[in-house]
Homo-oligomer: A and B are copies of this chain.
Amino acid sequence: MDPNPNIHRQYRSFVTHLECSLTGERYEADRVHGLSRAGRPLLVRYDLEAMRGAVPRIAIQGRPTDMWRWRELLPVRDPKHIVSLGEIETPLVPIPRSGGTHVLVKDEGRLPTGSFKARGLVMAVSMARALGITRIAMPTNGNAGAALAAYASRCGIETIIFCPDDTPEINVREIAMQGARVWRVNGLIDDCGAIVGEGARQGRWFDFSTLKEPYRIEGKKTMGLELAAQLGWELPDAIFYPTGGGTGLIGMWKAFAELEALGWIGSKRPKMFAVQAAGCAPMVRAFEDGVEHAERWENAHTVAAGIRVPRAVGDFLILRAVRESGGRALAVEDNAILKAVDDTAKRDGLLMCPEGGATLAAYRNALAQGLVSEDDRIILFNCSTGLKYPMPEAPLWLDRTQPIDFDAL
């Protein structure tokens, strides 16, 4: 029993093929793929011309708002392969006191497993199921592993996860709780990725690393599709996005191009701000150096573990989108991140994750530097529920067996 028509109806996917993001070389759709022969991410392509004639925007608007309303623009062809846990459209929450009058937080913590990783992984796992993959491995800083574990367990795919040994306890436990084997490794996420890569070369499992399989980005692009629909098909002036592997930023940029090709939005684009932590800012360095590829960031450290990604395989795609948009790559200090999280919780009642806090900190800097104005319509991405992260102690204690001094409460 699934009451959601977006999932149980047959809609046509307009997918045609995949292509190498660097060389444009063409690859067949509906096949198992990793990186391209050039060692770069593959991008899924659609027959947007045919779709433009066949699917009016209003048809999408009439459907329930979860991410499966975009079925024609997604690679899963048969609804029986969809492994859903309820991927709702995430709300836009104003933060007038800590942000400003025109600042909205897209609260991705409402998705299954509490983070935006669900978008990418529900798509990748649904495609893995469609393509008969039975064993998957992945490196993770926490949230991606949790999403993979949940969706894979739901459809009986075996999962092995590798995470840095300082990954928060709650992430490691939720991954195990949701049926995956999870290994703590003495290293960072790219060290974990090396183990996954070696096992994949040995044919032991399929490699689900960021952008090393082509479907996660299609899930993540729904953030851009949703934003367009939620804002009445007019994109905001700027988007601040916490950038580790950058799948979401690349995905949104792709989504906007697809929507324009369909004639559903105009040519206006938001300035894309790729937000990183000062202790791990390879994209910021590459952006400022004016280069196309980023070098590995050594001795990476930040409270925002989700963006502690020293090297990103899609670096040139991130940099390209940021530059084309007229945006920037911005680095923020850990103390500014923590202050932003605290302000938003205390003044607007919204508990963000550190990576979400980083986007507010970056917005504040951008405003001070004149990169955006107070009248601009701004979207910040809170990529995970704040409940997964450490919070300060709350020490007040009251002995009810003694007389109570109500003035002191």
Q: Chain A interface (Cβ within 8 Å of chain B)?
A: 1-4, 64-66, 84-86, 88-94, 97, 101-104, 107, 110-114, 137, 149-154, 160, 162, 165, 170, 172-179, 181-187, 191, 194-195, 198-199, 202, 204, 230-232, 342, 345-351, 377, 385-388, 391-394, 396-401, 404, 406, 409
**Cβ 8 A contact of A186, one of B107, B396, B401:** B401
A114-B151 CB under 8 A given contacts A175-B394, A199-B409, A396-B184 = no
Q: Report the separation of the CA atoms of residues A368 and B64 in the bound assembly, to the nearest whole angstrom.
A: 36
> Is A342 a contact of B177 with CB atoms below 8 Å?
yes
Q: A345 with B85: in contact, given A1-B94, A3-B230, A387-B170 (CB under 8 Å)?
A: no
Complex-state Cα separation, A401 to B154, whole angstroms: 34
Whether A349 and B409, one on each chain, are in contact in the complex, defined by CB atoms closer than 8 angstroms, is no
- Selected A-B contacts with CB under 8 Å, 18 pairs: A1-B103, A1-B377, A2-B94, A64-B65, A85-B93, A86-B92, A86-B107, A88-B91, A110-B110, A160-B409, A162-B398, A173-B391, A177-B346, A177-B386, A178-B345, A181-B409, A183-B409, A185-B399
Of the candidates B175, B186, B194, B351, the one whose C-beta lies within 8 Å of that of A178 is B351
The listed residue (B65, B179, B388) touching A349 by CB distance below 8 A is B179
CB distance from A109 to the nearest CB of B (A): 8
Would you call B179 and A346 a contact (CB within 8 A)?
yes
Min distance, Cβ A393 to any Cβ of chain B, angstroms:
7
A162 to B397, CA, bound (A): 9
Which residue of B has the minimal Cβ distance to A173? B391
Could you say which of A86, A174, A182, A406 has the most chain B C-beta atoms within 10 Å of its C-beta? A86
Let me know if A348 and B154 touch, CB within 8 A: yes
Q: How far is the CA of A196 from the CA of B172 in the complex (A)?
A: 39
* Residues of chain B contacted by A204 (CB below 8 angstroms): 406, 409
Whether the Cβ atoms of A173 and B394 lie closer than 8 Å is yes
Complex contact B176–A351 (CB within 8 A): no
The CA of A219 and the CA of B91, in the complex, are separated in Å by 18
Q: What are the 7 tightest A-B residue pairs by CB atom distance, in nearest-first order?
A: A86-B91, A150-B349, A176-B394, A154-B349, A173-B391, A179-B346, A183-B398
Query: Given A3-B230, A154-B349, A204-B406: A177 and B391 within 8 A (CB)?
Result: yes
Distance in angstroms from A207 CB to nearest chain B CB is 13
Q: How far is the CA of A221 from the CA of B76 in the complex (A)?
A: 37
Among A94, A149, A349, A387, chain B packs the most CB atoms within 10 A around the CB of A349
Give the nearest-CB partner of A160 in chain B: B409
> Quick one: closest B residue to A110, CB to CB?
B110
Whether the Cβ atoms of A349 and B153 lie closer than 8 Å is: yes
A392 / chain B contacts, CB cutoff of 8 Å = 173, 176-177
Which residue of the partner chain, among B91, B191, B388, contacts A66 with CB atoms under 8 Å?
B91
Question: Which residues from chain B contact A377 at a C-beta distance below 8 Å?
Answer: 1
**Residue from A91, A92, A153, A406 whose CB has the most chain B CB atoms within 10 Å:** A91
Contact of A198 with B1 in the complex, beta carbons under 8 Å: no
A198 to B400, CA, bound (A): 12
Residue pair A396, B183 in contact (C-beta under 8 Å): yes
**Residues of chain B contacted by A3 (CB below 8 angstroms):** 92, 104, 230-232
Give complex CA distance A114, B137 in Å. Answer: 29
Whether B198 lies near A404 (C-beta < 8 A) is yes
A198 partner residues in chain B, CB cutoff 8 A: 404, 406
**Contacting residues, chain B, for A92 (C-beta < 8 A):** 2-4, 86
Contact for A104 among B1, B88, B103, B173, CB less than 8 A:
B1
Q: A88-B88, A194-B400 are in contact. List 18 more A-B contacts (CB 8 A).
A: A1-B377, A66-B91, A86-B93, A86-B107, A112-B349, A137-B409, A174-B351, A174-B391, A177-B386, A177-B391, A179-B345, A179-B349, A182-B394, A183-B396, A184-B396, A184-B397, A185-B400, A387-B388
